[in-house]
Structure 1
Amino acid sequence: MFGRRTFGKQKHSFADLKKMMRPTPDSDGVTRVFSKELWNDPKIGSMLRELGFAPDDQRNIMRTADDYIALFAAARYRLQQRTETFNSEMTARHGYCRAAPFLVIGDTIWDGEHGAFLYAQMDLIGFDDWNVVMLAADARTAQLCGLPAHPGSVPAHTQAMTGHVIRWKKRYEFALEEFGVTATGGQGITREQFEAQKGALRQEIIDTVASMKPRAASGS
């Protein structure tokens, strides 16, 4: 199915390379996409270097679960601070405000089977501004501040957003496979083309969420 590069009598498909990726630390305690022992292999290491990678390239260093826990905690704290500032400024202007953040791509998606695609592959965090809209947590805030009411959990919206994420994930995986064809000696796409497609997809996710904020705010 995919192009192959031959190393002596051994053939490595992109699927083979993905099997070599292991989420366990090397002897120095660093978890790499491709472990140090693979880079020491004269055939596999040479191919990876030809593609422009290096053992300690940031793209080859995997964040650990603890890294992500710290990343999410910091982002959640920043959101809490932004919410407090928003409420303080709106209270000074209107006399009262109790707003709460609404995540367009909600917690159930981030915590579900597709969440890793968003934060690990797309480098997106759901608590950051791109995914957040401030909405009224009570009727008084809605009346005084002119904010739409926070809709709480909206199953139809979650289902729609899940569909978007699944489609984005499939497009990313297709681009990754095309890059893998090149990585194993076939006619796929270059690393530069893959990175460009990845960047464009990431921006499309951000733009789509921005366009959906008014609809999310209305609970539709």
Structure 2
Amino acid sequence: MFGQKATFGKRQHSFAELKEMMRPTPDADGVTRVFSKELWDDPKVGPMLRELGFNPDDPRNISKTAEDYIAMFAAAKKRLEERAAAFNRDMTNRYGYCNAVPFLVIDHTIWDGEHGAFLYASLNLIGFDDWNVLMLAGDERTKELCGIAGHPGTVPAVSKAVHEFVVAWKERYECALEAYGVTATGGQGRGISREQYEMEKDELRQEIIDKVGWMKPRIINELLRIQG
């Protein structure tokens, strides 16, 4: 995201310079914006931002705070707990007993690591949401009665593969962000429009969701094979 001290020149900005601009600082009203409010008063920068379709209080221009993310994660975790409880009730009605627990395909080692912010802050992906969750047996009785794979804790091979995917996805996102930064900062070079940037970001987000969806049945099949 872009902080208050961004400068707008006529040369191409490198991604390192763009990231240097992405250090959000609250405006005078206490709100942290991607493009700070004062930029709209600049005789050169303000008209360019308006031409690009921005306004200072556009929701996309408001940066989330740490408190916002904490609340978002808490709400997502609560939804997951409710889905797990509903799953267990339904399976208990069918089979007489079920103690299934969630398994995250992109696990906590990613979300809590150096690439986690890319997923939740840049792409608005939350690991507790259904796209990233499998319900697996929490005990042997559930495996036998319900016919679902046992929860393995973590699967190093899956974690390693996912980490490699996330690194590649992040690189693609940074390339799109750099290209958009050329346009947004008035630089010369192979920039892309705001619409192109948003489209590429949306496509990448959907690709991640689809890839995790592709992995789910394969993880289950492998667990069932190993667990017999």
Q: TM-score, with normalisation over the residues of structure 1?
A: 0.90
Aligned amino acid, residue 161 of structure 1? V
The answer to whether the Cα contact below 8 Å between 1:22 and 1:34 also exists between their aligned partners in 2 is no
The answer to whether the Cα contact below 8 Å between 1:22 and 1:35 also exists between their aligned partners in 2 is no
Give 2:86's aligned residue: 85
RMSD value, Cα: 1.9
Mapped to 1, the partners of 2:151 and 2:18 lie a distance apart of: 46
Q: Secondary structure at the match of 1:205?
A: helix
Alignment of 1:186-205 (within 5 A): 186=188, 187-205=190-208
Change (3 A) 1:108 1:94: same
Q: Secondary structure at the match of 1:133?
A: strand
Alignment of 1:11-50 (within 5 A): 11=10, 13-15=12-14, 18-50=19-51
Q: Where does the alignment leave 5 or more consecutive residues of structure 2 unmatched? A: 1-6
The answer to whether the Cα contact below 8 Å between 1:114 and 1:165 also exists between their aligned partners in 2 is yes
Listed one character per residue, the Cα deviations across residues 65-124 of structure 1 (whole Å, up to 9, x for unaligned) are 000000000000000011011101100110000000000000110011000110011111
Mapped to 2, the partners of 1:172 and 1:62 lie a distance apart of: 18
Aligned amino acid, residue 205 of structure 2? R
Mapped to 2, the partners of 1:167 and 1:201 lie a distance apart of: 11
Change (3 A) 1:17 1:107: closer
Mapped to 2, the partners of 1:188 and 1:63 lie a distance apart of: 26
Q: Where does the alignment leave 5 or more consecutive residues of structure 1 unmatched? A: 1-5
Mapped to 2, the partners of 1:143 and 1:59 lie a distance apart of: 48
The answer to whether the Cα contact below 8 Å between 1:22 and 1:32 also exists between their aligned partners in 2 is no
The answer to whether the Cα contact below 8 Å between 2:18 and 2:178 also exists between their aligned partners in 1 is no
The answer to whether the Cα contact below 8 Å between 1:35 and 1:55 also exists between their aligned partners in 2 is yes
Aligned amino acid, residue 191 of structure 2? G
Q: CA deviation at 1:150?
A: 0.8
Point out 4+ residue stretches in structure 1 off by more than 3 angstroms. Answer: 10-22
Q: TM-score, with normalisation over the residues of structure 2?
A: 0.87
Change (3 A) 1:11 1:185: closer
Percent of pairs with identical residues: 65
Mapped to 2, the partners of 1:64 and 1:146 lie a distance apart of: 43
The answer to whether the Cα contact below 8 Å between 2:107 and 2:159 also exists between their aligned partners in 1 is yes
Alignment of 1:130-141 (within 5 A): 130-141=131-142
Give 2:4's aligned residue: none
Q: Secondary structure at the match of 1:126?
A: coil
The answer to whether the Cα contact below 8 Å between 2:11 and 2:187 also exists between their aligned partners in 1 is no
Across the two proteins, how many residue pairs are aligned to each other?
A: 213
